[in-house]
Amino acid sequence: MIAVEVDRGTLIRPRKGWVARPTADEALIYAARHGVLLTCITQAKRMGIWVQSEREHHFATRAASSRGRPGGVLHWRTPLVPRDPDSLEDPLENVLNAVAHCQPFEEAVAIWDSALNKGLVEWQRLSRLPLTGLAKQVLLASNRFADSGLESYVRTRLAWLKLRIVAQAWAHGHRVDFLIGERLVLQVDGSQHTGAQRSSDNQHDAELGLLGYEVIRVTYTQVMFDWPAVQQRIMQAIAQGKHRAT
What's the pTM?
0.84
Q: Flag whether pLDDT at 7 surpasses 60.
A: no
Three-class SS of residue 230? helix
pLDDT digits (tens, 9 = 90+) for 26-57: 888 888 888 899 999 999 999 999 999 888 89
The pLDDT of 155-162, averaged and rounded, is 92
Sign of CA dihedral 226, 227, 228, 229: positive
What domains can you pick out in the chain, each with its CATH number?
35-141 (no CATH), 149-239 (3.40.960.10)
What are the two backbone dihedrals, phi and then psi, of residue 72, each rounded to the nearest 5 degrees? 130, -165
The pLDDT of 86-90, averaged and rounded, is 93
Say what percent of the chain tops pLDDT 90: 56
Closest CA to 63 of 75, 52, 51: 75
Buried/exposed code over 31-58 (b: 16+ C-beta within 10 A; e: otherwise): bbbbbbbbbbbbbbbbbebbbbeeeebb
CA dist 46 and 89 (Å) reads: 10
User: Taking the mean position of all CA atoms in its chain, how far away is CA 100?
Assistant: 11
Asked if 158 and 221 touch (Cβ cutoff 8 Å), the reply is no
Q: Quick one: pLDDT at residue 98?
A: 97
